[in-house]
Amino acid sequence: MNKEEIFSIIIPTFNRQEIVFNTIQYLSNQTNSNFEVIIIDQTDGFKRELNDFKSENFNYRYFNINEIGLPNARNYGADKALGDILIFLDDDSIPDINIVENYKKLFQSLGSKVLIGGRVIEKGTDILKERNNICGGWITWYGKTLKNFDTDNSGECEWAPGGNFALSKKLFFQVGGFDTNFIGNALLEDGDFGYAVKKSGGRVYYQPESIIEHIRAPMGGVRLRNPNKNMFYRAHNTVYFFRKYDKHQFLFFVFIYLYCVALKDYFNKKHRAGAFFWTSVGFYKGFTTNIKK
């Protein structure tokens, strides 16, 4: 990388205008100031405070768009980016003060044809470090996502955390950006993107040096008010993913797994019986959605 090259930090947000404003503040004390910040706001309603924000430390741009969808927002931000390296961050996060500098060093050592996933710390839960014997993200043959994005280990993996990853703008468009058929809660959009990078001849690599703390805001973003419908999007996106990568022979086991998830969450009172209906509908829709190549 040349010193003149800049980074573009892209932060999609939806119904979290006050939260993302706080995230922007945290970026003001970066040790490397050779970057821009782009906010892609899908909230219904222009936010003057976000639009008028100014920083002495970085270039800032705000876009309020009508189309709702995390993959679309990522693509929109990448298209507007001026930097050669794109860093995608969650809107409800606290980035480490060295996150830009550390990504710069990693690209210098790993090269440009790599998708780099950073560390995601979430206090009070192990949801992002499910397996100690892995690093990064993986997808099982029956559709479960496995992840360990909070470990000191580093290495190759299948997908990077959607809330903290970076790659060259050239590689982003080489793989066609994010697939907008991953709808609703966008489950597996990051898994699909990792697969697309590897299919194009690139690498996916997890490393613990570039860090965010994930706040996990209870509302907004991809969280839905109707928890039953989460199963529709989960089923749709999982079936679509397996069809896209010609894993049709495993779809029966995907079907069983999804219904087991719905049953488990029902007994844990995360949703009601309507989730089983939405799982069936999602499974059907996942079968009928046209595959984007």
pTM of the complete model: 0.94
What is the distance between the alpha carbons of residues 288 and 283, in angstroms, rounded to a whole number? 9
Answer whether residue 180 is part of any domain: yes
Mean pLDDT for the stretch of residues 28-46: 92
Q: Write the pLDDT tens digit of every residue in 55-97.
A: 999 999 999 999 999 999 999 999 999 999 999 999 999 999 9
Q: How far is CA 160 from CA 40, 58, 65, 135, 272, in A?
A: 20, 26, 26, 10, 32
CATH number for 114 = 3.90.550.10
249 and 108 fall within a common domain: no
Domain housing 280? 227-288
Provide the percentage of residues in the chain whose pLDDT is more than 90.
Answer: 81
Q: Write the pLDDT tens digit of every residue in 98-132.
A: 999 999 999 999 998 999 999 999 998 888 898 88
Q: Write the pLDDT tens digit of every residue in 277-288.
A: 999 999 999 999
Backbone angles phi, psi at 70, to 5 degrees: -60, -45
Contact 102, 24 (CB under 8 A): no
Q: Above 60 in pLDDT, residue 48?
A: yes
State in Å, rounded, how far the first CA of the chain is from the last one. 30
The closest of 3, 10, 5 to 74, measured between CA atoms, is 10
Contact 106, 208 (CB under 8 A): no
Cβ neighbours of residue 44 under 8 Å, at least 6 residues apart? none
194 and 267 fall within a common domain: no
40 and 79 fall within a common domain: yes
267 and 146 fall within a common domain: no
248 and 203 fall within a common domain: no
120 and 255 fall within a common domain: no
93 and 143 fall within a common domain: yes
195 and 237 fall within a common domain: no
Query: Last residue of a domain, which of 162, 181, 214?
Result: 214
Answer whether residue 293 is part of any domain: no
257 and 183 fall within a common domain: no
The pLDDT assigned to 5 comes to: 74
The pLDDT assigned to 274 comes to: 85
66 and 18 fall within a common domain: yes
The pLDDT assigned to 222 comes to: 60
What is the distance between the alpha carbons of residues 21 and 12, in angstroms, rounded to a whole number? 12
Query: Last residue of a domain, which of 158, 180, 214?
Result: 214
With bands split at pLDDT 50, 70 and 90, how would you rate the model's confidence at 220? Answer: low
- Read off the tokens for 143: 């559709």
Interhelix angle 251-267/227-244, nearest 10 degrees: 160
Number of domains composing the chain: 2
Answer whether residue 2 is part of any domain: no
Answer whether residue 221 is part of any domain: no
Mean pLDDT for the stretch of residues 264-291: 91
Contact 131, 151 (CB under 8 A): no
With bands split at pLDDT 50, 70 and 90, how would you rate the model's confidence at 223? Answer: low
Which amino acid would we find at residue 84? D
Query: Last residue of a domain, which of 185, 214, 243?
Result: 214
The pLDDT assigned to 269 comes to: 80
Provide the percentage of residues in the chain whose pLDDT is more than 70.
Answer: 96
The pLDDT assigned to 285 comes to: 97
57 and 140 fall within a common domain: yes
Answer whether residue 222 is part of any domain: no
Answer whether residue 168 is part of any domain: yes
46 and 171 fall within a common domain: yes
Q: Above 80 in pLDDT, residue 293?
A: no
Answer whether residue 107 is part of any domain: yes
The pLDDT assigned to 202 comes to: 97
